[in-house]
């Protein structure tokens, strides 16, 4: 199959075949990072702009390394102010970046739909690096890549996603991607952190961690953000850890082969114990490594789609 | 002398007429309604195959003037109204300044006198500055010509204050129109709460925030033995509550807007802010309930809630974009397309909801084709299709939720106070 999209905004709009194409492409790029000279010329002469309206180190660095390993030039723009009242509008910023004859914008924004708005207004490619609570497609892709490598297959596999589902773009992208690939997904959180109608996306909902982990081949532990000014956030950190924290004792009652994932940064002792994070089941650092390949694949495919159009 | 509209299908709910008739207009009034009128006139309109009905009385319009002339003015808004077949509008008071005192009413009246191309009636605020703290001087406003009061855009939070306003409005013969929304529940929401808000990662607005406030507002009206009109009903529960109250004899009327009987939350999925409106587009079951409410005549009025906004305020991040949809130029065509062509309403019923009922609720002498009444008449080609486009709008703002859609029904002639004030192509 041929990739035709100029943008990657989310996994919701992708077909199973498109997701598989990204995963296959990512696997082929993994080798680049293992070489002595970690560079291929696939994006030589292209300019990638990381436009980040939210503080993020890991995603931004991962995209930067991915682009550089493809030989693209990379510019980073960080904006503290994303408010529409301060300074330039998102669309104006995007238009200016496009006028600089760049090729790809990688955008992180606190508003859901920000990447979609940019993509609608621009001819250059837009890659969503996380928009509000909406989607974080490359995170889900690297999660799925890691799952596939570790478990050897995806069809029929069972994954539990634990944490603040309501406010998580990682959860949404994972749900779309995993369900399309035939993975059985269970989401687990206190009731107040489960968004309306989530079961309509084809996931099982439970409020009991033991129940969520019972048959799981993998658990994806979401970062809990107690510091956020969100009136419906879970009130108490200790209470959360007691009921939903991933600990060695809890994992002892799950499958022996269960793998533990986390999109980072870790809140040790909040959603995951240090023992588990650093333990044998943890694939957290593999995820980080796979992030480069997944992002290289996405950068490569959208760039190719543009070249094919011309 | 005069205008003769010949051979049209005349729909006049007041006189229960649905027949092929001629109408003679003379000196701003309707002079005769009969078959085969033969008389010398200045102008003959051949209305064969067309609908001839009273001009639409739209009781929910934001003209934005004074203060936000970049969005709309009395001139542009009433021009847009005429294009849509609307000859009378009720102008909402959430302007800058708010229409909340005699001085501001006079200011607006001056603008209307100078610029209005259709009849503009004034709705003033219930509370000063729409702040919910102090009731406006309803009696004095009434003497200045105000016919209704509303804090539209917000609900009056304090019950005892709304209760007093309802009592005073009753004494003065002014209608209270309620924007029923409990902000403590709707919060920072931007779309209907449900699967769509979940998919899009946007904050949801629950139906409870609407219907619980509808229930409260109706109870207060009952307590005050006053009339109350519920604006922009959007969900099934609100319809049920209005029905129950009416069955009990409460003097409550309700309106809905075309987008609530034609669109659902699914439209929002691409983050197109032209579908961002308050109350939000709901789900399919709500849309069906609104249609059923119209059919059963629980919802007696269709009004546009014409809410113009500039592109600067719309073409931005979804959660920051302004709430509102324009509607004056599409409300009739959407009603024909979604209610007549689907056989949910008869022409008689539709015309009643667009003209006679709002006129009755506002105690206006409009919405009728009776001899001797003001000649506000429109001639509509009910079957002609057209595609909604930004370029076609006369409103200053283009934030329509129907852009790109094919609708049926074109307004061909508009007569207001006996003069031809608009002719469509």
How far apart CA B377 and CA B6 sit, in angstroms, is 13
Residues in chain A: 310
Spatial distance between the Cα atoms of B365 and B370, rounded to a whole number of angstroms: 10
Could you please report the per-residue DSSP string of A256-269?
TT-EEE--SS--BT
Q: How far is A297 from chain B (nearest CA, A)?
A: 25
For residues B296-325, give the mean pLDDT: 97
DSSP-derived pairing of the beta strands B228-230 and B252-256: parallel
Q: Is the dihedral of CA A130, A135, A137, A141 positive or negative?
A: positive
The better pLDDT of the pair B228, A265 is held by: B228
Architecture, CATH, for domain A137-287: 3-Layer(aba) Sandwich (3.40)
pLDDT at A83: 45
Q: How far apart are CA B228 and CA B85, in angstroms?
A: 27
User: Residues B210, B279: contact at Cβ < 8 Å?
Assistant: yes
A contacts of B194 (beta carbons < 8 Å): 196-197
A113 in contact with chain B, both atoms CB, cutoff 8 A: yes
Check whether A86 has a pLDDT greater than 70.
no
CATH 3.40.50.1370 domain extents, chain A: 16-136+291-309, 137-287
**Percentage of chain A modeled with pLDDT above 90:** 87
Q: What is the pTM of this model?
A: 0.95
What is the set of domains in chain B, with CATH numbers?
54-361 (3.20.20.140)
Task: Say what the ipTM of the complex is.
Answer: 0.93
**Model confidence pLDDT, tens digit, residues A113-148:** 999 999 999 999 999 999 999 999 999 999 999 999
- Residue B160 forms contact with A (CB below 8 Å): no
Please say whether the dihedral angle defined by the alpha carbons of residues B252, B258, B260 and B262, taken in this order, is positive or negative. Answer: positive
Question: Which architecture, in CATH terms, is A16-136+291-309?
Answer: 3-Layer(aba) Sandwich (3.40)
Q: How far apart are CA A20 and CA A52, in angstroms?
A: 28
Distance CA B114, CA A155 (A): 71
**Contact present, A158 and A224 (Cβ < 8 Å):** no
B346 phi/psi in degrees, rounded to 5: -85, 165
**What span, in angstroms and rounded, lies between the C-alpha atoms of A127 and A136?**
10
| B404 touches B392 (CB < 8 A) | no
Q: Which of A58, A228, A248, A253 is catalytic?
A: A58
Minimum mean pLDDT range among A32-36, A154-158, B82-86, B225-229:
A32-36
> Could you say which of A84, A116, A196 has the minimum Cβ distance to residue B197?
A196
Q: Which of B199, B312, B319 sits opposite A111 (nearest CB)?
A: B319
Q: Is the pLDDT of residue B83 over 60?
A: yes
């Amino acid at each position: 199959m041929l990739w035709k999209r100029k943008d990657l905004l989310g996994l919701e709009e992708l077909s199973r075949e498109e997701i598989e194409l990204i995963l296959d492409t990512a696997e082929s790029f993994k080798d680049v990072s293992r070489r002595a000279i970690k560079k291929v010329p696939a994006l030589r002469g292209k300019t990638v702009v990381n436009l980040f309206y939210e503080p993020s180190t890991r995603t931004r660095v991962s995209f930067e390394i991915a682009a550089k390993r493809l030989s693209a030039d990379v510019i980073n723009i960080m904006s503290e102010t994303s408010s529409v009242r301060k300074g330039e509008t998102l669309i104006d910023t995007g238009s200016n970046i496009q006028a600089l004859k760049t090729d790809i914008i990688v955008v992180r924004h606190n508003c859901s739909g920000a990447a979609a708005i940019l993509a609608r207004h621009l001819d250059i490619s837009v890659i969503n690096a996380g928009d509000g609570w909406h989607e974080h497609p490359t995170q889900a892709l690297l999660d799925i890549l890691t799952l596939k490598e570790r478990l050897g297959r995806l069809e029929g596999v069972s994954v539990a996603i634990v944490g603040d589902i309501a406010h998580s773009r990682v959860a949404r992208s994972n749900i779309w991607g995993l369900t399309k690939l035939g993975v059985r997904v269970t989401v687990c959180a206190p009731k107040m952190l489960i968004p309306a109608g989530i079961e309509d996306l084809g996931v099982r909902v439970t409020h009991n961690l033991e129940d969520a982990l019972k048959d799981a081949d993998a658990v994806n532990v979401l970062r809990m953000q107690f510091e956020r000014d969100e009136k419906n956030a879970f009130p108490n950190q200790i209470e959360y850890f007691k009921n939903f924290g991933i600990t060695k004792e809890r994992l002892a009652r799950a499958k022996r082969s269960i793998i533990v994932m986390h999109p980072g940064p870790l809140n040790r002792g909040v959603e995951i114990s240090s023992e588990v994070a650093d333990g044998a089941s943890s694939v957290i650092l593999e995820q980080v490594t796979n992030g480069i390949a997944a992002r290289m694949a996405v950068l490569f495919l959208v760039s190719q789609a543009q070249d094919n159009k011309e | 002398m005069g205008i003769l509209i010949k051979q049209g299908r005349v729909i006049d709910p007041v006189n229960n007429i649905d027949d092929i008739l001629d109408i003679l207009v003379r000196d701003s009034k309707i002079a005769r309604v009969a078959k085969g009128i033969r008389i010398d006139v200045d102008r003959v309109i051949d209305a064969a195959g067309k609908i001839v009905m009273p001009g639409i009385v739209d009781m929910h319009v934001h003209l934005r003037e004074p203060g936000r002339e970049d969005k709309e003015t009395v001139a542009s808004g009433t021009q847009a109204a005429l294009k849509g077949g609307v000859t009378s509008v009720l102008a909402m008071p959430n302007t800058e300044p708010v229409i909340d005192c005699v001085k501001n009413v006079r200011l607006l009246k001056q603008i209307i006198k100078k610029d209005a191309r259709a009849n503009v009636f004034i709705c003033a605020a219930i509370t000063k500055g729409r702040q919910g703290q102090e009731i406006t001087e309803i009696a004095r406003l009434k003497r200045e010509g105000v016919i209704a009061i509303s804090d539209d855009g917000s609900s009056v939070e304090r019950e005892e204050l709304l209760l007093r306003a309802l009592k005073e409005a009753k004494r003065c013969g002014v209608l209270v129109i309620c924007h029923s929304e409990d902000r403590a529940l709707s919060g920072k929401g931007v779309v209907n709460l449900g699967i769509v808000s979940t998919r899009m990662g946007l904050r949801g607005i629950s139906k409870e925030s609407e219907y619980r406030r509808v229930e409260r507002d109706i109870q207060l009206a009952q307590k005050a033995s006053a009339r109350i009109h519920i604006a922009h009903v959007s969900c099934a529960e609100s319809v049920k509550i209005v029905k129950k109250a009416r069955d009990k004899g409460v003097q409550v009327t309700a309106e809905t807007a075309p987008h609530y009987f034609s669109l659902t939350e699914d439209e929002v999925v691409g983050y197109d802010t032209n579908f961002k409106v308050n109350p939000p587009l709901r789900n399919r079951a709500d849309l069906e309930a609104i249609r059923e409410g119209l059919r059963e005549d629980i919802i007696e009025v269709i009004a546009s809630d014409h809410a113009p906004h500039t592109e600067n305020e719309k073409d931005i991040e979804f959660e920051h974009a302004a709430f509102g949809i324009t509607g004056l130029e599409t409300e009739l065509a959407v009603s024909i397309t979604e209610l007549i062509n689907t056989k949910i309403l008869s022409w008689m019923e539709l015309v009643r909801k667009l003209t006679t009922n709002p006129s009755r609720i506002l105690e206006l002498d409009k919405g009728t084709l009776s001899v001797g009444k003001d000649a506000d008449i429109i001639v509509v080609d009910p079957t002609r299709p057209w595609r909604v486009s930004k370029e076609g709008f006369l409103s200053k703002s283009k934030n329509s939720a129907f852009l790109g859609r094919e609708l049926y029904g074109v307004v061909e002639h508009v007569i207001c106070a006996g003069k031809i004030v608009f002719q469509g192509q």
